[in-house]
Structure 1
């Protein structure tokens, strides 16, 4: 797996875990200072699971079925640690970081496809 593919998996995993964390009332209150509306919680959960699926697809496309899932688990570990650290120390920054990670993932996509 190339560095660009690993970065893509990390960015997608970070955004996905951020969405899943913000779908929970406790974490949503910490980041937004308001309870999570039911409609938003469902959308955040759907976006989180879709992000994890995209991250898995990117890992398998870049590393094949032999190494892709193993490297995907490693990138999920790193991205989950980043989400936990942000939720613990600066929960307000989580939404900004997650929204910044998505355009960076889109920028990484051409590098992964060509490399």
Structure 2
């Protein structure tokens, strides 16, 4: 379930960064249309992939329920961090990107 949580948080962060206002708060430089499109695609791709990871981990019944909880939890975390600790949003997204391959190796052993 850790991999699904990391994918959800990273996906929501990418969608957040695809907006001019949040991009300006968190990163420097202009948000181009191409970059916005790429961030939207990455965010939706990560969010689309996360329920499959959750279902593979715990089955259809429990996996979907856990995925809904992880989805809401990651959204709430992002919403509460944005106004109070905006730099933590990027830090947690970077940490989750680093941890994703390790969580994938744990969930899908070779």
| TM-score normalised over the length of structure 1 | 0.85
Greater shift, 11-20 or 87-96, is seen at 87-96
Structure 2: how far apart are the matches of 1:49 and 1:18? Answer: 11
* Aligned length, in residue pairs: 109
Within the candidate set 4, 9, 12, 2:7 is matched to: 12
For the aligned residue pairs, the C-alpha RMSD in angstroms reads: 1.4
The verdict on how the C-alpha distance between 1:63 and 1:113 changes in structure 2, with shifts beyond 3 A counting, is same
Unpaired runs of at least 5, structure 2: none
1:93-112 equivalent positions in 2, closer than 5 A: 93-112=88-107
Unpaired runs of at least 5, structure 1: 1-5
Within the candidate set 22, 27, 38, 1:32 is matched to: 27
The verdict on how the C-alpha distance between 1:90 and 1:33 changes in structure 2, with shifts beyond 3 A counting, is farther
Structure 2: how far apart are the matches of 1:35 and 1:82? Answer: 26
Contact 1:31 1:95 (C-alpha < 8 Å) held by counterparts: yes
Look up the SS of the partner of 1:108 in the other structure.
Answer: helix
| TM-score normalised over the length of structure 2 | 0.89
